[in-house]
A and B are shown apart, each in its own frame.
Chain A
């Protein structure tokens, strides 16, 4: 079983839509959860960071962690064409900052 599972998509939505991206993870010991965004031909950049359970909001982006179901979500409100990218969920299991990434979901926001 993979440590992090993510639907690769692709996901195509109209501009202004609410986008929901999801991942599951296998090890209940994981404490640190991240979402990275990767534009085409670029390296990933950290978008959202959450420690343990709960929600975290940053502008149009909300990250949610449900440790009871081992579920990680990213919501994008009022999606924009500039949000078109691959979104990677990631976990850090503690220790030396080894980060395990999901497969990535490719999102396209159509004007």
Chain B
């Protein structure tokens, strides 16, 4: 069984640039959620994708957007990067029929905005 994989693992951008982060969900999982984890904080929910549609969104501005593809993989796009966007971005996959809240996380993409 293949786990959740994310790429890239680390990247550095400058303020105002755009970034795309990628996630492959665990085999058999059709739901992908994205979380932002700032240093010393818990993960914060950005949004979730199910059947290629956004299925819920946290308190993040529209410059955070995403996609889910037919193979359930997903992208997180962030436009007009700000210094506060520096964080670990975590992708988690799940299935609607498993225990609520049981998420399987990747190791994250660490974004530094200079």
Contact = CB atoms under 8 A, between A and B. Distances in A.
Q: Do A and B bind each other?
A: yes
Interface of A: 4, 6, 8, 31-32, 34, 41-46, 49, 88, 90-92, 94-104
Interface of B: 4, 31, 33, 35, 40-45, 48, 50, 55-56, 58, 90, 92, 94, 96, 99-108
Contact of B45 (A34, A42, A45, A98): A98
Given A44-B103, A46-B103, 19 more contacts: A42-B107, A43-B4, A44-B43, A44-B105, A46-B102, A46-B104, A96-B50, A96-B56, A97-B94, A97-B96, A97-B101, A97-B103, A98-B33, A98-B58, A101-B43, A102-B42, A103-B40, A104-B41, A104-B42
A90 B50 CA distance: 21
Given A43-B106, A98-B58, A100-B45, A90 B4 contact: no
A45 B105 contact: yes
Among B33, B43, B48, B50, max chain A CB count under 10 A is at B43
